[in-house]
Amino acid sequence: MELLLIVLVIGGLLALVLTRGRGRATSAQSQLGDAEAEARRWYERLGGQVLSLTGSDDPSKQALADAAERYTAAGSQLEQASTAPQYRLVSDTALEGLYYVRAARTAMGMDPGPELPGSAERSRAGSLDAEQSVDVEGRSVTGSPQPSAQNNHYYPGGMVGGRPVPAGWYSEPWWKPMLLGGVGAFGGMMVASALFSGFGAAAVGGDAMAADMGGGFDGGMDPGMDPGMDPGFDGGGFDGGGLFGDW
């Protein structure tokens, strides 16, 4: 009798473990499927915009070129993705491309379309609220909330090298060396320091801008890039690391 009771208890425990294991596996598979479906929706929506729009001036052409680069990168990431985090990275890359599309449409005087989901990094970085101009290493770098022939390089805002880069239109893509790291990153850091130290955080909207920029860049630069900004963008792959209505 005791042996039968032991067998029944063990059998019940095994059944419970197996049931929970199946439940966890089903949940994980469901999350993976959802992440893949969302990644494909973002990717396809970006592709529809990139393939249907043609820039009419320098700012819109440059923004669409940047969007096309993100589309290519997201496609490469999508081919390699096999986990939920990797599919989320695809979504992030495609979403960034859609920010560039939105900027291009604005530059061409078109309806920019629905608002895109934000992120903590973009909220922290803020956006340019006024035109700015600084001289760094013998060259003039300008930024503005609006596109122009002079300021035709858009950035959607976020963290680069551990530092906030506000959304706006710039005379040159000074943040790119910061993405690559190495010696070239120092020049980008100097521009960022001059932009925000020289003109004050009041010219930039962002929750943590004053705290991050008040002390300059004495703390150095993180070796990598914070999640959410140019996510995994290295021409494709994972080396670097919702839905919305139609236009």
- The whole-number pLDDT of residue 3 equals 72
Same domain, 190 and 129: yes
74 and 128: one domain? no
pTM of the model: 0.71
189 neighbors 181 (Cβ within 8 angstroms): no
Q: Are residues 52 and 130 in the same domain?
A: no
Is 22 inside a domain boundary? no
Report how many domains make up the chain. Answer: 2
**Confidence class of residue 106 from pLDDT cuts 50, 70 and 90?**
very high
The H or E element spanning position 231 is none
Least confident of 63-67, 175-179, 206-210: 206-210
- pLDDT at residue 104, as a whole number: 98
pLDDT value of residue 65: 98
The two structure tokens encoding residue 171: 């005379």
**What φ, ψ does residue 155 adopt, rounded to 5°?**
-135, 130
**Strand pairing of 168-170 and 139-144?**
antiparallel
- The residue with greater pLDDT, 162 or 42, is 42
Is residue 206 pLDDT above 90, yes or no?
no
Q: pLDDT (tens digit, 9 = 90+) per residue, 5-39?
A: 776 667 667 766 666 666 666 777 788 999 999 99
- Whether residue 99 lies inside any domain: the answer is yes
* 209 lies in the same domain as 125: yes
Q: Is the pLDDT of residue 247 over 80?
A: no
Residues 95 and 162 in one domain: no
Same domain as 97, residue 50: yes
Residue 227 lies in a domain: no
Residues 182 and 130 in one domain: yes
Are 136 and 190 found together in one domain? Answer: yes
DSSP state, residue 218? T
Q: Could you tell me if residue 207 is inside a domain?
A: yes
Mean pLDDT of 40-46: 97
Query: Does a structural domain hold residue 20?
Result: no
Kindly list the strands in the beta sheet with 153-155, ordered across the sheet, starting from the edge strand earlier in the chain: 132-136, 139-144, 168-170, 153-155
Residues 144, 151: Cα–Cα separation, whole Å:
7
Structure confidence at residue 246 as a pLDDT band (50, 70, 90): very low
**Does 115 map to a domain?**
no
pLDDT band at 54 (very low <50, low <70, confident <90, very high): very high
Question: In this predicted structure, what is the pLDDT of residue 89?
Answer: 96
Phi, psi of 121 (to 5 degrees): -65, -40
Domain annotation covers residue 154:
yes
Q: Is residue 21 part of a domain?
A: no
Last residue of a domain, one of 74, 107, 140: 107
**131 and 82 assigned to the same domain:** no
Exposure string for 33-63, b = 16+ CB within 10 A, e = fewer: eebbebbbebbebbbebbeebeeeebbbbbb
**Which range, of 18-32, 67-81, 118-132, 168-182, averages the lowest pLDDT?**
18-32
Q: Say yes or no: 57 and 86 in one domain.
A: yes
Question: Does one domain contain both 102 and 35?
Answer: yes
Q: What is the per-residue pLDDT across 152-163, written as a single tens digit (0 to 9) for each?
A: 999 999 887 777
In the block, tokens 């955080």 appear at 201
Which residue range forms the structural domain that includes residue 46? 30-107
Q: Do 128 and 66 share a structural domain?
A: no
Average pLDDT over residues 203-213: 48
Written as one string, the DSSP assignment of 59-128 is: HHHHHHHHHHHHHHHHHHHHHH--SHHHHHHHHHHHHHHHHHHHHHHHHTTS---SPPP--HHHHHH-EE
